[in-house]
A and B are shown apart, each in its own frame.
Chain A
Amino acid sequence: MSFLLTVLFLCFTYAICGIAARWLSAKLGIDSIAHGVIIGTSAYTYALCGRANISTGGCIISALLIGSFTGWLVILLSERVTGEDFALASFGVQVLWLVTVKNWDSVTGGVLGVPGIRSIPAPWVSNFPLSHAIVALTILLFSGYILHRIDLSAFSGGVALLKRSKELAFTFGVPSLTVRSQVGLAYGLCLSATGVLLASFLTFISPDQFGTNISVSVLAISFLVISGQRRIGSGILGAFWVVGAPQLLRLIGLSSTRVGFAQLFLSGMLVACSPFIAAASGKAKPQ
């Protein structure tokens, strides 16, 4: 039961990342490979604040603020580079972050990571995985609702103009930097919430947990997310195929590291097939 709840928790958590990444792609037309940077930064902030004896609420707020700020910084790159150039730059940021966290022993604990992270207390539910699964589901529903409300707002019109052309947006008085900042902050906030959840659930974090693997897994899930009202359902389903299904391989005796590689393989194949998925699902129209 505990195992199934853990899988459920992972599915909900990754679904939040997936819908946020899909939303980012739909709004600004960019695919980031630096999701791990934002999730990792907020997870480390939560862990390190806990170590500094800050209250749990303070840890969560600090992690969300710093995570959102990191998201804003990453998305700010799209002001200068777009398309595959942005994807490559974000990949560079991901690798740079990983090397920096691994080497900054005095603060991040280096490759050994940070153990003994404080869990978010949930006095209303005694079961540890169940409480985290409920919190993750709540955040998922809340994120889906907020992103849906933003889609319906006037803000979305400005973003659509910016996605079409920076010059067109400028002509209509849409400030590119401000719009990108707002999108980046919203995206960063969703991802940093998952960082806090992961740190609280695992009670131990290391740099490799937030490497290219997690970024590619989130990217794979984002390709399976359908925008609009089916966003949350498709996000959970996508997360189940990318993260949940490989976890079930543990039931046949596969070690957790090999399950990680199975997840990587599955994510890679999904990402590789994504242009065909887009073409088949009608996101791309024949000329």
Chain B
Amino acid sequence: MSNIWFIAIAQGFVFALAGIAIRVQYSLFKGFDFSVAASIAVAAETFTVVANRFQLAPPSALLAGTLSSLTASLIIMCGWNLSIWAVLRRLKKFNKNTGSALFVTSLGFSVGASGLIGLLRGPGLRQSFFNALAQVSLLGMKLELSNLFIIITGALAALATLLWLRTPSGLGLALIAQNEEFAQELGVQKIRIIMPCAIVGGATTGLIGSYTSLSSGSTPDIGLPIFLYGAGAALVFQSARIQSCLWGGSLLGIFYVISQLFVSPSWVNAILFGAVVLLITLRGSSRTRQGLR
């Protein structure tokens, strides 16, 4: 039974990290940002390629794969945040809804990235070579390395994010999330918050990518379903606070794993996607289209 809770916590961390990445981008740019999905897909692919290319022993392969996937996702998120900031500033001059523009542009970017990955390496699932060996003994239990990895690194990443939220840039993000004009009047400069947000997004998506590659392998479109789970984790408590993503992710993770005791895992995915759609629909769009941003 304790093993199940261990898996539930690991799954909760995956959803929570995706939720944090989505919520940070949402607070900053006022819209759903699919670059999170692109970053996860590229990170997972990078991990698999590095681990398989160098054929290192498991601890070294894990370290090399994680570092390379973190680097790839950080590059993507930093480049993306700077570009989209410039693009949205320009589009604001036109009478355009920047939330929709962000959604469409980032969706195109994410789908294009999946297409490029598929075009370069071909279709199908790619797994790390040490996947089959990836089990460790801890407290008398046989635990999967991927779950242990995401619990340790996810906890560290969540802690670092919570600490960052107490710094001036973190508080600036919280102000922007509440009211951008008000934040500007108080002297919060968005350009100075973009890079810390990209680092948070890059670190969380890099860890999710590494976990995905370790546990199930990478496919070109692996990021899109995780994005949807992350959106569920970010929206479940209807709060603009980034901390709530942790609770939202944990709740979804526990639900995901416990449900698998009664229903087949693939049906659990369908149930959870249905729950996320229901959540988005029930939340609705407010009259001013601001919602809980």
Contacts and interface: CB of A to CB of B under 8 A. Distances in A.
A221 B132 CA distance: 43
A268 B110 CA distance: 7
Given A88-B280, A99-B269, A212-B221, A284 B112 contact: no
B289 A275 contact: no
A213 B219 CA distance: 14
A197 interface: no
Given A31-B104, A216-B111, A88 B32 contact: yes
B111 A275 contact: no
A268 B99 CA distance: 18
Interface string A131-142: 000000000000
A19 B237 CA distance: 38
A201 B221 CA distance: 27
A263 B228 CA distance: 23
Interface stretch (B58-66, B87-95, B133-141, B169-177): B87-95
A270 B104 contact: no
A214 to B, nearest CB: 11
Contacts of B276: 92
A37 B70 CA distance: 35
Interface string B76-98: 00000000000100010111110
B277 A93 contact: yes
B115 A268 contact: yes
Given A81-B284, A287-B94, A268 B112 contact: yes
A241 to B, nearest CB: 14
A85 B111 contact: no
Nearest to A91: B228
A273 interface: yes
B123 A261 contact: yes
B112 A286 contact: no
Contacts of A88: 32, 103, 231, 280
A260 B117 CA distance: 12
Interface residues of B, number: 56
Question: How many A residues touch the partner, as a band?
Answer: 35 or more
B270 A81 contact: no
A263 B280 contact: no
Contact of B104 (A258, A264, A267, A275): A275
A263 to B, nearest CB: 7
A265 B41 CA distance: 14
A89 B32 CA distance: 11
Interface in B241-293: 264, 266-267, 269-270, 273-274, 276-277, 280-285, 287, 289, 291
Contact of A83 (B100, B123, B224, B281): B100
B119 interface: yes
A122 interface: no
Contacts of A286: 93-95
Contacts of B231: 88
Contact of B107 (A92, A213, A271): A271
B105 A287 contact: no
Given A275-B96, A279-B96, 4 more contacts: A82-B289, A84-B99, A216-B107, A257-B123
16 contacts: A80-B281, A83-B285, A84-B32, A85-B283, A87-B103, A92-B280, A95-B228, A103-B270, A167-B287, A213-B111, A257-B122, A264-B115, A272-B104, A272-B109, A275-B105, A279-B96
Interface of B: 31-32, 87, 91, 93-97, 99-119, 122-123, 220-221, 224-225, 228, 231, 264, 266-267, 269-270, 273-274, 276-277, 280-285, 287, 289, 291
Interface of A: 31, 33, 77, 80-89, 91-93, 95-96, 99-100, 102-103, 167, 212-213, 216, 219-220, 257-258, 260-275, 278-279, 284-287
